[in-house]
Amino acid sequence: MFLYGAVKGSTHADIALGGAAGFLLALTAYWLLSRSTRFVSWRAFFRVTEVLLLLLGGALLVDGAEKLVGLETLPPLADPLWNTMSLLDDSTRTGGLVAAFTGYRAAPSGMAYALLAVYWALALGVLLKLKPMRRKA
């Protein structure tokens, strides 16, 4: 799922090389984390990855919602909801990076951000509900 955008239009050799490099980086990260638990605990590592995965999930939701609005499968509600291209344009390198990780859009549709608000309400609700259960265990 995460590699879809990276492999689109790539050759098989590029995909294999990228997969091998990713696997080696994952092994290196595991080795470093297991060797340096006094600097970074497993708990902190998984908290950071939890937040990153939630951000990526929100970004994927916004991207899918924007595509469905573009196909006129979903109503846009407000199109655009606002326009912040003068502050941070999502077609630039920096804006694209922020957009890829957070779901930021300079001129989003209302539907995309309505769905993102529901996503974060549910995610935070589940996390806050599970938090007392983690302490008891």
Q: Which pLDDT value is given to residue 29?
A: 83
Neighbour tally for 59: CB within 10 Å: 19
- The Cα-based distances of 81 to 7, 84, 111, 129, 132 in angstroms read 32, 10, 9, 32, 37
Q: Which pLDDT value is given to residue 9?
A: 62
- The Cα-based distances of 30 to 42, 48, 51 in angstroms read 10, 15, 18
pLDDT above 90 as % of the chain: 20
Flag residues of the chain having pLDDT under 50. 1
Q: Which pLDDT value is given to residue 1?
A: 44
Evaluate if pTM is beyond 0.85: no
* Angle, CA 105 vertex, CA 103 and CA 108 arms, to 5°: 110
Q: Which pLDDT value is given to residue 121?
A: 95
Closest CA to 69 of 113, 127, 101: 113
- Mean pLDDT over each residue of the chain, to the nearest integer: 83
Q: Which pLDDT value is given to residue 61?
A: 92
pLDDT digits 0-9 by tens, 70-85 = 899 989 888 788 888 8
Q: Which pLDDT value is given to residue 135?
A: 57
Q: Which pLDDT value is given to residue 99?
A: 86
Sign of the dihedral through C-alpha 13, 16, 19, 23: negative
Q: Which pLDDT value is given to residue 132?
A: 67
